[in-house]
């Protein structure tokens, strides 16, 4: 339908997210989809049974704006057990409609027109649009290739009187790198004595490998006092379509967060909250996630040995980065499309996570899949690129 309205687009250069583009291309081409980050397997039936039970019990009306108390208490208990910080269940935790909404809401709550927000790139694709939507300016510090570690001296040099927020993400999507306790100490020295808020995206907090511990900002008292920390039940319990996450942070920050949250979401699906609260009581369900996904990581890496892809370190998340320089000189976006169409395996080009399209000929595979899915993808890759 045509419209007589002239639209002055706020984002004239912005297209459809790469995840939508590559998943559609995978479907159109019949490719094995290792691009978009979602599991192709189910959660445990106990979680669905619990939600069904709460629905039948009539728990289907609006939940409190901040989330049902049962779930907020379960979150507070989990964070205290893991990181040693006990947030106030009424004033310092909010249930959100997924992590993306939490991130947008936190940015909208604290960033004003003209404010600067430092982000570490490759940067997850929702951060910068959220910053620009509220009139802020993203300032980029590139993680050091190939280990994707922060250059804290550069971050410090980027701080100006207009810096309002620094966004960190660990375990890091798309690279699979981790922040360490030493990294958090460096960050603390940078923001000490300033009014800079920290937004910490920790949605893969339970997916950390090789015996390493997740360095949560919740467990760093100096940083916790100025941070909104985001996590995701979708990533933890294989239910990305439920779109339920949460944030924790000090009361003064949470009060501002909720001022925006109450008008852009207000509340989140009630029976799902109750089901998750019940399901969380068995801590092995999140504590066992690292071993579960490490087995998948190692299985996928073994399958890829007979291909010319150079696998980069994967210390967390369920993504594996790989260089393809021995295969092709194509730019990574072209290579990803070619791989999907001609080989039948869909991946994500990493240059899309750089503001300037910086291309290191690296693509991202998602291994949060059934073994048969990973085998099918690897068979196609080996057939096309056998050494």
Provide the token pair at 369: 């899949």
Residue range(s) of every CATH 3.90.1150.10 domain in the chain: 18-43+287-385
Residue range(s) of every CATH 3.40.640.10 domain in the chain: 45-282
From the number of C-beta atoms within 10 Å of its C-beta (0-12, 13-18, 19+), residue 372 rates as exposed
The CATH number of domain 45-282 is 3.20.20.70: no
CA dihedral (253, 256, 260, 261) positive or negative: positive
Would you state the CATH architecture of domain 18-43+287-385?
Answer: Alpha-Beta Complex (3.90)
* pLDDT per residue rounded down to tens, the chain (387 residues): 999 999 888 888 777 888 888 999 999 999 999 999 999 999 999 999 999 999 999 999 999 999 999 999 999 999 999 999 999 999 999 999 999 999 999 999 999 999 999 999 999 999 999 999 999 999 999 999 999 999 999 999 999 999 999 999 999 999 999 999 999 999 999 999 999 999 999 999 999 999 999 999 999 999 999 999 999 999 999 999 999 999 999 999 999 999 999 999 999 999 999 999 999 999 999 999 999 999 999 999 999 999 999 999 999 999 999 999 999 999 999 999 999 999 999 999 999 999 999 999 999 999 999 999 999 999 999 999 975
Q: What is the pLDDT of residue 203?
A: 98
DSSP state of 340: I
Provide the token pair at 241: 């379509």
């Amino acid at each position: 339908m045509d419209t007589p309205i002239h639209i002055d687009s706020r984002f004239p250069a912005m297209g459809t997210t790469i995840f939508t583009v590559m998943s559609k291309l995978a479907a159109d081409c019949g490719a094995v989809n290792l691009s978009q980050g979602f599991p192709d397997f189910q959660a445990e039936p106990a979680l669905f049974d619990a939600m069904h039970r709460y629905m039948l019990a009539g728990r289907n009306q609006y939940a409190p704006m901040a989330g049902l108390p049962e779930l907020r208490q379960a979150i507070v208990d989990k964070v205290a057990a893991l990181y040693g910080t006990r947030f106030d269940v009424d004033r310092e935790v909010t249930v959100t409609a997924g992590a993306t909404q939490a991130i947008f809401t936190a940015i909208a709550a604290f960033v004003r027109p003209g404010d600067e927000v430092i982000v570490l790139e490759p940067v997850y694709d929702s951060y910068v649009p959220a910053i620009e939507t509220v009139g802020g300016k993203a300032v980029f510090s590139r993680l050091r290739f190939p280990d994707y570690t922060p250059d804290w001296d550069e971050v410090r040099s980027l701080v100006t009187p207009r810096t309002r927020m620094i966004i960190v993400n660990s375990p890091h999507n798309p690279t699979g790198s981790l922040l360490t306790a030493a990294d958090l100490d460096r960050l603390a020295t940078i923001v000490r004595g300033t009014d800079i808020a920290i937004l910490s995206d920790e949605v893969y907090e339970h997916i950390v490998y090789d015996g390493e511990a997740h360095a949560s900002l919740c467990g760093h008292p100096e940083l916790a006092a100025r941070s909104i920390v985001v996590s995701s039940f979708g990533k933890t319990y294989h239910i990305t379509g439920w779109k339920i996450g949460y944030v924790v942070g000090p009361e003064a920050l949470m009060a501002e967060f909720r001022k925006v949250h109450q008008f852009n979401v207000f509340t989140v699906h009630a029976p799902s909250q109750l089901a998750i609260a019940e399901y969380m009581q068995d801590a092995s369900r999140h504590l066992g996630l690292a071993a579960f996904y490490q087995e998948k990581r190692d299985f996928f890496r073994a399958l890829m040995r007979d291909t010319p892809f150079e696998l980069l370190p994967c210390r967390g998340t369920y993504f594996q980065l790989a260089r393809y320089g021995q295969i092709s000189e194509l730019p990574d976006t072209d290579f990803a499309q070619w791989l999907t169409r001609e080989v039948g395996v869909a991946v994500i080009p990493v240059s899309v996570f750089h503001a300037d399209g910086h291309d290191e000929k690296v693509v991202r595979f998602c291994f949060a899949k059934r073994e048969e899915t990973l085998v099918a993808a690897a068979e196609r890759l080996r057939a096309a690129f056998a050494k």
